Every structure is written in C-alpha cells, then in structure tokens.
Amino acid sequence: MLVLGIESSCDETAAGVVGPDGLLSDVTYTQEIHARFGGVVPEWASRAHAERISATVREALEQAGIERPDAVAATAGPGLIGAVLVGFSFAKAAALAWDVPFVGINHLEGHLLSPTLEDPSLELPFLALVVSGGHTSLYRADAVGSYRTVAQTVDDAAGEAFDKVARLLRLGYPGGPIIDRLARQGNPKAIRLPRPKATELNMSFSGLKTAVRSYVEAHPDVHPPDLAASFQEAVVDVLCDRVLRAARREGLERVAVSGGVAANGRLRERLLALPLEVHIPSFRFCTDNGAMIAHAGRQRLLLGERHGLDLRARSVWPLDAA
Ligand code: KG4
Ligand code: ZN
C-alpha cells in the first residue's frame, strides 16, 4: 500500500509517500516569512500553506513516480487550527477525487513513530521522548495506537524554550538550530543555570528561560556562545535525567526520540551515551515532515483503520486521548 502523507500543522508545508519498502518521497517547504516576526504568525502560516500545498503534494507524487496513492493520511491536529485545516481539507478532497481511503493522524503520533520509518527493526514497546516546539512528553508506547503519557512539561516545551532564549539574545528564528550552532563555540560550564524540577518525572522549562533573562540583564556583556552552551546543557541535563528515570520506572530498555529538538547535536550525543538502547531519526525526520504522517497513516491503515470525510480537525489533541 502506497500512502501519501500531508502535514501542515505549523510552519512546514510537507508531503511524503511511504510504501512497503519504506520512503519513496519526502518534500518539505519551510515558510520563511515568520523569521521577520521571530515566531510563527498563524494567519500567515495558513495563507502560505494554501499557496504551497498543491505544488508540494504534486512534487511528492512525482518524486515517488506515481500518479495517485492507494490511501491518503493527513495531520488532523494538534496545531494551529487554520494551518492544520489547509492540509487536512486538501487531503480529504484528494482522497475523495481519487476514491481512496483517508485517515487523520495525530501529529504527535507522526513524531513518535518516526524513528521506526528508517529503522524497521525498531520494535514496540519503547519509551518515546517527543520533544518539539509545541510539546515535550515521555510516553510508554506499547503498540501502534496504544500510548500512555509518563511525563510532560508543566509549562514551556523544550523547543519553545530554545526559541524564546534565541529571541531574548536577538539571534533569530527558529532558535533551536541557531543555539545548537552557537553553543559549539561556547563553554557549557561557563554560567550556572538552574535545572528546574517539577513534580516527579514532569519537566519545566519556563524557569530556565527566566534565569537566562535575569542573567543577560545582570551581565549585558555576556559571551553569547557561553550562554547558549550553558542553556543548552541545562535543557539536555533535564531531558536525559527524565529519560533515564522514566525508562527504569517503566522497565523499558528501548528509547525512541523524535521531534524538532531531537535534531540538537548535544542532546543526540548525550542521549546516545545513556546506558539504554536509544534510537534517533536522521535530522530531516526530526523536524516536521510529510513522511512521518504517511508512515503513521500507513501503520493505522494496515490495522484496518479509516476515517470518514466528516472527521474534524482538532487544535488540542492529547496523544493518549481517543
Ligand atoms: O517538530 P517541530 O519541527 O515542530 C513542532 O511540532 O513543534 O519542532 C520545531 C522546534 C522549534 O522549537 C525549533 O527551534 C526546534 O524544534 N529545533 C531545535 C533544533 N532544530 C529544531 N532545537 C534545538 N536544536 C536543534 N538543532
Ligand atoms: Zn512537530
């Protein structure tokens, strides 16, 4: 079964095709207009998706060498609702025109299963760390469709903290990749920042962002690479600590990491050094992409799932809710 996947929940217009032998195509158009503002502007995102969706899907089909897929999957949420609706409605219309099955996918499930796209030998159950701009959660993933939240951030997502700190330092948007690069020239031990604790395994990143702001106010001549490296190290310390403790508590050896922040060089290095079996996708499958939606959709379709065209998009949609 060849599945077309469409993603438009934030600022990437993306489409990919996945078949029995894996990935056939993957086309991602990252909207540049938001950089000017320093964050995603929802209305601009919806408009840019609408302008780009048709060409993106056409290119994904062309690259895969097919005229039409056997089924269509699309992100149905969570995300910016106007943005989600562009790809979601396009996908429904395409499924109707082609007369093929349609399935709506939770964006977080797309991320969660993405490590299994490149590595089919990676089997569930595993502990999943989904760490992106909108979400930072640990799940126990027992089977496709069976996920339980083990821990999550009580305030900002880790990617959001990267973006906010970058904005504070006037480094540009999105902040994650910029801080990642800058931190390589800095000393992670230069500045002492807190490792905020929430209850039990939960995480908190907003106090860390405030600590960075206070530090910059008190030390306007700070060496930015040192601050970037120290901030990044604090985020990585928290994530690694929770992964290790959650894996032990859940009795899971295997860990699958996904989401935009999983592209972070230092996080990857530190996670791979943990005494666990850690899987992280290649960089291009960490940030939002259509291939992960096609892949998750294909898993669901193989289980016999299909959705009617009356399925609704959702701005909020916890992964362990039905
Ligand atoms: O998964 P994603 O593309 O979109 C969401 O679902 O949120 O994640 C985007 C987030 C942004 O906050 C971005 O700054 C962060 O991932 N990010 C990174 C890196 N690349 C992207 N954070 C840290 N280091 C990176 N290399
Ligand atoms: Zn995402």
| Cβ(79) – ligand 1 distance below 6 Å | no
Give distance in angstroms: CA of 216 to centre of ligand 2.
Answer: 30
| Cβ(264) – ligand 1 distance below 6 Å | yes
- Domain assignment present for residue 118? The answer is no
Alpha-helical (H) ranges within the chain are: 42-64, 81-98, 107-113, 115-118, 158-168, 175-183, 206-218, 224-250, 265-272, 290-302
Question: Do 255 and 298 belong together in one domain?
Answer: no
Question: Do 186 and 149 belong together in one domain?
Answer: yes
- Domain assignment present for residue 290? The answer is yes
Question: Do 301 and 273 belong together in one domain?
Answer: no
- At residue 322, the pLDDT reads 59
- Domain assignment present for residue 298? The answer is yes
Q: For the domain that residue 23 is a member of, what is the CATH number?
A: 3.30.420.40
- Domain assignment present for residue 55? The answer is yes
- Domain assignment present for residue 117? The answer is no
Question: Do 163 and 301 belong together in one domain?
Answer: no
Q: Which two tokens stand for residue 220?
A: 């306007």
Question: Do 299 and 252 belong together in one domain?
Answer: no
Give distance in angstroms: CA of 114 to centre of ligand 1.
Answer: 15
Pick from 132, 163, 282, 285 the residue to mutate for probing ligand 1's pocket: most ligand atoms within 8 Å of its CB. 132
Question: Do 185 and 255 belong together in one domain?
Answer: yes
- At residue 120, the pLDDT reads 87
| Cβ(176) – ligand 1 distance below 6 Å | yes
Question: Do 56 and 27 belong together in one domain?
Answer: yes
The rounded distance, in Å, linking the Cα atoms of 105 and 296 is 7
Question: Do 179 and 192 belong together in one domain?
Answer: yes
CA-12 nearest atom, ligand 1: 3
Question: Do 168 and 76 belong together in one domain?
Answer: no
Question: Do 246 and 296 belong together in one domain?
Answer: no
What is the model's pTM? 0.97
- Domain assignment present for residue 236? The answer is yes
Phi, psi of 304, rounded to the nearest 5 degrees: 90, 5
| Cβ(202) – ligand 1 distance below 6 Å | no
- Range of 37's domain? 3-112+285-321
- Domain assignment present for residue 10? The answer is yes
Sheet containing 102-106, strands listed edge to edge, beginning at the edge strand earlier in sequence: 22-30, 12-19, 3-7, 71-77, 102-106
| Cβ(7) – ligand 1 distance below 6 Å | no
- Domain assignment present for residue 129? The answer is yes
Overall domain count for the chain: 2
Give distance in angstroms: CA of 287 to centre of ligand 2.
Answer: 6
- At residue 243, the pLDDT reads 98
Question: Do 97 and 128 belong together in one domain?
Answer: no
Phi, psi of 130, rounded to the nearest 5 degrees: -105, 115
Question: Do 102 and 170 belong together in one domain?
Answer: no
Residues 6+ apart with CB under 8 A from 230: 186, 187, 188, 189, 190, 191, 192, 193
- At residue 297, the pLDDT reads 98
pLDDT 10s digit of each residue in the chain, 322 long?
A: 999 999 999 999 999 999 999 999 999 999 998 988 888 999 999 999 999 999 999 999 999 999 999 999 999 999 999 999 999 999 999 999 999 999 999 999 999 999 999 998 999 999 999 999 999 999 999 999 999 999 999 999 999 999 999 999 999 999 999 999 999 999 999 999 999 877 789 999 999 999 999 999 999 999 999 999 999 999 999 999 999 999 999 999 999 999 999 999 999 999 999 999 999 999 999 999 999 999 999 999 999 999 999 999 999 999 987 5
